Amino acid sequence: MNRKIYIFSIIIIFVFGYILFEAYKLENKFAGDSADKAGTVIQNMPNLKFSLASDSDKNLELYQLTGQGKNVFVHFWATWCAPCEKEFPELVKMIHLFKDKKNIQFVLVAVNDDPKKMKKFLKQFDLNLDNVSLVEDKINSHKELGTYKLPETFVFNSENKIVKKYTGQQPWLQKYIVDQIKSL
């Protein structure tokens, strides 16, 4: 009987150790804040221009934001993209966590979207915040960043250097993502 308990204890210790090892590897994978760990060949923010969703005659240049000492969170999405729509409520909740943080600007870029559908979709969310810019990518500027799959997000620091890239639907309220944004 004692031998069975001893073997069972060894197996439990081994399994627990393996779980800790895998958690450590996962934490290191997401903790990186350099371009080589961002998962992209883009090193610096290109000078992209987007039309403001509220006034299509006015443009927003991303360099304007970093020139003001802001870190820029650029999120590409569309109403025709099911994963984009599914993750959007959680993204909005995450943005609200940072509504008082003055050094970060969230730029939500609608790609190849119908303005009426976009505005109807956005009405369900409270995005009337100082740290949020809603824009449309009418001239396919997203391709300059190599974005062909939505949703996709790039995080640039105030020196125009990329610090993180997220591809696909994300769990925006997970601690590791919130901590990455807090660290900006």
- pTM for the model stands at 0.72
Q: Provide the pLDDT for residue 163.
A: 86
CATH code 3.30.420.130 for 35-182: no
State the Cα angle at 170 between 96 and 156, rounded to 5°. 70
- Counting Cα atoms < 13 Å in the Cβ hemisphere of 138 gives 15
CA distance 170 to 23: 18
* Nearest CA-CA partner of 157 in 180, 141, 123, 130: 180
Residue 28: which residues within 8 A CB-CB, separation 6 or more? none
Q: Provide the pLDDT for residue 18.
A: 83
Mean pLDDT comparison of 43-52, 63-72, 86-95, 129-138, highest-scoring range: 86-95
> Residue 84 — φ and ψ, nearest 5°?
-65, -50
Find where tokens 């369900």 sit.
124
Q: Is the pLDDT of residue 6 over 90?
A: no
Range in 11-15, 34-38, 89-93 the model is least confident about: 34-38
Enter the tokens of residue 41: 């060949």
Average pLDDT (38-64) is 65
